[in-house]
């Protein structure tokens, strides 16, 4: 499919058949209700990755690698957390919408008997304001978005010109964090089968005589557990990381392709 040959649409495409009634109020950003289930999954995955990375697996690394891993993944994670919050929190609406629209007022119902399109001659009949040539009216957020790219369910927010690069770097940094954790996990699995003693270098292990006992959440809150539990957690987190990286990697490559496409500005919305 030629992504660059798609024509620009003035409104978000509507599904065929019966339509659910549009939301009565416009959404401000990704924190506006209703929250999307994908957004909850994204934050849950972020929490699991952070706990597993910093609390369980990095402490298994050798001393020299451990500090490098803390620094690299810690920096990437902090950067991702920041740009993710900004991408969710920004109102991507058109300037005239942000200035003149009252988000607390109910939206009018679009009457196709009066107008063929929501936006005509750069005037939105729903937002009732003049918009730029590259604005689209998002049916999910019920407002015109500046430089509309797509509505992202994972952010629960539209991605437009005001927050596109925050979204892009959020995806890129998340992919980098997941890649770092996958490398860490693979090293731990390989080392476990070659020489498990190399994973037990922390001073707290001097008090642990049973080689089937492992310590999690070092060094602040050491919790004793057995080998099957550690391996089970490792396999679960590895599968979660791989699946997440495949999804994010596909999205990242798609937007990298669009950025290199000569007619990228004429492309329609991408996957998210």
Catalytic residue IDs: 152
Q: What angle do CA 182, 183, 188 make, to 5 degrees?
A: 95
The answer to whether the CB of 218 falls within 8 A of the CB of 59 is yes
231 Cβ contact partners less than 8 Å away, ≥ 6 residues apart: 192
Phi, psi of 224 (to 5 degrees): -80, 140
């Amino acid at each position: 499919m030629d992504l660059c040959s798609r024509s620009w649409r003035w409104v978000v495409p509507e599904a065929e058949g019966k339509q659910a009634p549009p939301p009565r109020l416009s959404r401000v950003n990704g924190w506006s209700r209703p929250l999307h289930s994908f957004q909850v999954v994204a934050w849950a995955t972020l929490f699991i990755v952070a706990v597993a990375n910093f609390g369980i697996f990095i402490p298994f690394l050798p001393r020299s690698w451990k500090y490098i891993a803390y620094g690299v993944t810690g920096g990437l994670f902090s950067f991702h957390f920041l740009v993710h919050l900004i991408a969710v929190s920004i109102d991507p609406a058109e300037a005239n919408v942000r200035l003149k629209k009252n988000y607390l007022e109910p939206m009018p119902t679009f009457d196709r008997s009066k107008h063929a399109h929501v936006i005509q001659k750069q005037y939105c009949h729903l937002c009732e304001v003049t918009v730029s040539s590259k604005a689209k009216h998002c049916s999910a957020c019920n407002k015109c978005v500046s430089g509309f790219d797509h509505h992202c369910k994972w952010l629960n927010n539209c991605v437009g010109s005001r927050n596109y690069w925050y979204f892009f770097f959020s995806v890129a940094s998340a992919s980098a964090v997941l890649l770092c954790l996958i490398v860490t996990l693979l090293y731990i699995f390989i080392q476990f089968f070659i020489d498990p003693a190399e994973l037990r270098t922390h001073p707290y292990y001097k008090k642990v005589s049973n080689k089937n006992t492992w310590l999690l959440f070092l060094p602040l809150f050491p919790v004793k557990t057995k080998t099957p539990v550690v391996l089970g957690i490792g396999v679960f987190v590895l599968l979660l990381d791989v699946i997440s990286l495949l999804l994010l990697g596909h999205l990242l490559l798609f937007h990298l392709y669009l950025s290199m496409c000569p007619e990228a500005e004429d492309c329609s919305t991408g996957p998210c």
